[in-house]
Chains A and B, each alone.
Chain A
Amino acid sequence: MLKIKRVPTVVSNYQKDEAADESVGCGRNCLGACCINGARLPLYACKNLEKSREKIVVSHEAEEPPVAFLESLVLGEWEDRFQRGLFRYDVTACETKVIPGKYGFVAQLNEGRHLKKRPTEFRVDKVLQSFDGSKFNFTKVGQEELLFQFEAGEDGQVQFFPCMPLDPENSFSVVAINVSPIEYGHVLLIPRVLDCLPQRIDHKSLLLAVHMAAEAANPYFRLGYNSLGAFATINHLHFQAYYLAMPFPLERAPTKKMVTTVSGVKISELLNYPVRSLLFEGGSSMQDLSDTVSDACVCLQNDNIPFNILIADCGRQIFVMPQCYAEKQALGEVSPEVLETQVNPAVWEISGHMVLKRKEDYEGASEENAWRLLAEASLSEERFKEVNTLIFEAIGCSDQEEDLEGTIVHLQIPNGGVVNQKSNRIHGGPITNGTTSECIVLQ
């Protein structure tokens, strides 16, 4: 069993030390059966992506679109909590800068984000772990930390209900504040909160997250996900999101196409970026794109490979970043200087937004340092190739031939025979790994 010690980020005012956590009784206005009666929150039911496809296709813009409804709701509610003092610190008072360099990594000096407490142990060798109700989870947050309910609507129009009761019978998803924000507007999307799903990707939940990105209609509003072992703090399914009005270095990296799936999803690898990553885009529908990414993530989860996800460009680009930093840390393989910064390379760090807790790290922040830190999280070239093979097998890839500087490479799959694309969803069971990159061409 591999473990590391780190100080968990506090995302809710009701989150206590794991060790000291007790099942607290009522009076805290939580989401438990004790308090949920009569609770109400605004409900935002977004446009069904399929039914409003034309809208998404048309809104290609070099300029930011006008502030959309969802954005107003998020920002308005967030500002309300901000002025009510629900956050542990004023994130806008934290100095932040763009590090000079090719990529424009963003560094922030945030001494208040990290608790000055003793680090707790985290098991890092299991990406799939069962939900543990005795630990902190999002049913224990105070209702004041919830901003609104969010669901994928049925028709092509947005529906908004300013005061909808929370119905425990009807599994609802919520958007909550992150009381230790990285940036202004930092929220958590918690799909089907009362279902107490553990931190793992499933098709429905990822699709909900993609809906939110599309609905926000702002390329600077991204959603992120950390698997267990890739610095998720809480084992209760959640995504994070915030606004940063500039491109992330990850989004700037050049890409090279690898394959296109039968449903038209294009998968590329990032070139010249410290963390080897995949970019998924296209597809004949957003659901196709989302489902393909889910297939890939389920494969990673089943193979116990920690990873992060960044949903960018209004849900049109989804990055998947497998990583191994925690494993390296547990094995004592991370360089001491990098460890000293106490920066955990989670989704935002890998995307290029580095939150630094020590002034000297902030003053001395350079593209080189950022690169060196992130590179520790990356899989090696070989391991990345292996993982890609697993992923392509899991999602089924087309027999499109790829040009790579004069050579033609056929991508093949080892199990011979025909695989029906539609039913090719691998949810469980081991996948043989250790294969080479030889696969058989799909007919």
Chain B
Amino acid sequence: MSLAEESSDSVFTEKEEEEESFNRRYTLWIKEALDELPHNFTITDPFLSGHPIVFASLGFLKMTGYSRAEVIGRNGKFFQGPKTNRRSIMEIREAIREERSVQVSLLNYRKSGSPFWMLFHMIPVFGRDDGKVINFVAVQVPISGRDHHHRKLTSVGDDVSSLDHSELVFGSCRREVCFGNFVQHQDHRALPVECDDDEQGLEDWEYCEASESEKLRAAEAINNVLSVLTRYSELSGRLVCGKRCCLRGVDCLSSSLVISLGRIKQSFVLTNPCIPDMPIIYASDAFLTLTGYKRHEVLGQNCRFLSGVDTDSSVLYEMKECILKGQSCTVQILNYSNRKDKSTFWNLLHISPVRNASGKTAYFVGVQVEASCRNTESKELRPETKQLSVVGAVRVAVRSSFMVTC
């Protein structure tokens, strides 16, 4: 039984939240402009739970055979399948985590189930004012594989100067054939003995090198998409650009941390004790459901908005003491929700300081459990264990995300 199966009815449906965040940044007119571009591309939002696609171009939909509604809200993994190279998946995951660009050949699957190779080129898009990653833009250029070139297997050690983070060279196109074999010579084309380039064999290719012109097409597409995004972000006043223009703000979480935190399906918040009045800098979807607030209403606020007339002030004092001492504590506190019925609820709240990779306390985590919801079902973890597991998962996420070198 996975804890991810716990119900969490979002305040928004997923589609609404995706559209809303995208429109607010770029205005409603951007969709028309993007639809005029001929390229295949997707735009994702790392700050939404599950890092979903918020826009998919018409070319992309045509290439994959899906409708827009089937794609918006999906994570990129949706188009991968059993034969997608795991190393490539790892490279993309790492590029997202490190907020940098990546270009790698990738095997994807269409709606029909048939596989195809494409050159996947992804870049981060930064907010001009806060240096935060706003979106990732990914361009997909199909590669035919018919005119692939065979090259000497290049290992990372050779020719280091020509390698940078955004380019991965795995080496030549190789087939894992059932019968027969290749005789490979440097710079010659492959001479397949048996099966030709039908789609069955495609899946078993370890890698498929894109041609120079295909790489150029990808770069061109990226630039075009980025231009449109930049232009339309000017209209809304919340500018974006292709390079991080300023240091990431103190209260700005990296997108990789946000993605990691998004895996945790329970109610919790992160607050920053280094900023005056210790504001909330992250709130999980489950927290928003529990309290009935929207995300933009809680970010930047101190948690006291959850307290009210009948909240025991001695409990608040106890919490404050623990925070000052940098200690963990668990309290039972009466909270006031913003749900339709404006009901109050008993919150079994656990708070704990969380250190980042420097070893210093960077945040406090607060994990809320609605007291009436204590599940004593024998098949589940004890509520105390569940609550502590949130703390643990946050610790792992925070510590690891701060280790990224930029």
A353 to B392, CA, bound (A): 20
B325 at the A/B interface (Cβ < 8 Å)?
A: no
B33 at the A/B interface (Cβ < 8 Å)?
A: no
Inter-subunit contact A247/B90 (CB<8 Å): yes
Query: Per a CB cutoff under 8 Å, which of A79, A93, A220, A405 touches B389?
Result: A79
Inter-subunit contact B385/A67 (CB<8 Å): no
A251 to B156, CA, bound (A): 13
A243 to B394, CA, bound (A): 12
Name the A residues within 8 Å of B387 (CB-CB). 76
Inter-subunit contact A62/B89 (CB<8 Å): yes
Query: Per a CB cutoff under 8 Å, which of A78, A80, A313 touches B86?
Result: A313
- Residues 99-115 (chain B) with a chain A CB within 8 angstroms: none
Name the A residues within 8 Å of B170 (CB-CB). 254
A401 at the A/B interface (Cβ < 8 Å)?
A: yes
**A64-B260 contact given A160-B379, A245-B397, A247-B90, CB 8 Å threshold:** yes
Inter-subunit contact A67/B94 (CB<8 Å): no
Count residues of B near A (Cβ-Cβ below 8 Å). Answer: 72
**A245-B389 contact given A68-B2, A72-B381, CB 8 Å threshold:** no
A381 at the A/B interface (Cβ < 8 Å)?
A: no
- Residues 198-222 (chain A) with a chain B CB within 8 angstroms: 219-220
A316 to B156, CA, bound (A): 23
Count residues of A near B (Cβ-Cβ below 8 Å). Answer: 68
| A-B pairs with beta carbons under 8 A, tally | 198
Binds A, one of B240-248, B275-283, B291-299, B351-359: B351-359
Name the A residues within 8 Å of B264 (CB-CB). 66-67
Inter-subunit contact A246/B183 (CB<8 Å): no
Inter-subunit contact B181/A408 (CB<8 Å): yes
A402 to B155, CA, bound (A): 17
Name the A residues within 8 Å of B395 (CB-CB). 79, 92, 184
Q: Whose C-beta in chain A lies nearest to the C-beta of B97?
A: A246
A83 at the A/B interface (Cβ < 8 Å)?
A: yes
A65 at the A/B interface (Cβ < 8 Å)?
A: yes
A419 at the A/B interface (Cβ < 8 Å)?
A: no
B81 at the A/B interface (Cβ < 8 Å)?
A: yes
Inter-subunit contact B89/A256 (CB<8 Å): no
B92 at the A/B interface (Cβ < 8 Å)?
A: yes
**A75-B2 contact given A401-B181, A406-B186, CB 8 Å threshold:** no
Query: Per a CB cutoff under 8 Å, which of A161, A313, A403 touches B184?
Result: A403
Name the B residues within 8 Å of A41 (CB-CB). none
**A67-B393 contact given A94-B359, A271-B155, CB 8 Å threshold:** yes
CB distance from B159 to the nearest CB of A (A): 12
Name the A residues within 8 Å of B86 (CB-CB). 60, 281, 313, 316-317
B348 at the A/B interface (Cβ < 8 Å)?
A: no
Name the B residues within 8 Å of A69 (CB-CB). 1-3, 381
Name the B residues within 8 Å of A374 (CB-CB). none
Q: Whose C-beta in chain A lies nearest to the C-beta of B387?
A: A76
What mask results when residues 264 to 308 of chain A are scored 1 for a CB within 8 Å of chain B, else 0? 000000011000000001000000000000000000000000000
Name the A residues within 8 Å of B76 (CB-CB). 62-63
A125 to B31, CA, bound (A): 68
Q: Whose C-beta in chain B lies nearest to the C-beta of A92?
A: B355
What mask results when residues 86 to 121 of chain A are scored 1 for a CB within 8 Å of chain B, else 0? 000010111111101010101000000000000000
A66 to B4, CA, bound (A): 6
B388 at the A/B interface (Cβ < 8 Å)?
A: yes
A71 at the A/B interface (Cβ < 8 Å)?
A: yes
Please, could you name 5 A-B residue pairs with CB atoms under 8 Å apart, sorted by A?
A62-B92, A66-B2, A76-B392, A90-B355, A271-B157
Instruction: Name the 3 nearest CB pairs between A and B, nearest first.
Output: A75-B392, A245-B400, A76-B389
* Residues on A facing B (Cβ under 8 Å): 57-58, 60-69, 71-80, 82-83, 90, 92-98, 100, 102, 104, 106, 158, 160-162, 183-185, 219-220, 243-247, 251-254, 256-257, 260, 271-272, 281, 313, 316-317, 401, 403, 405-406, 408
Other than A62-B92, A96-B357, A246-B97, give 15 A-B pairs with Cβ distance below 8 A.
A62-B93, A63-B50, A67-B393, A68-B4, A72-B381, A75-B392, A76-B388, A76-B392, A79-B395, A83-B388, A160-B381, A245-B97, A246-B94, A246-B400, A272-B157
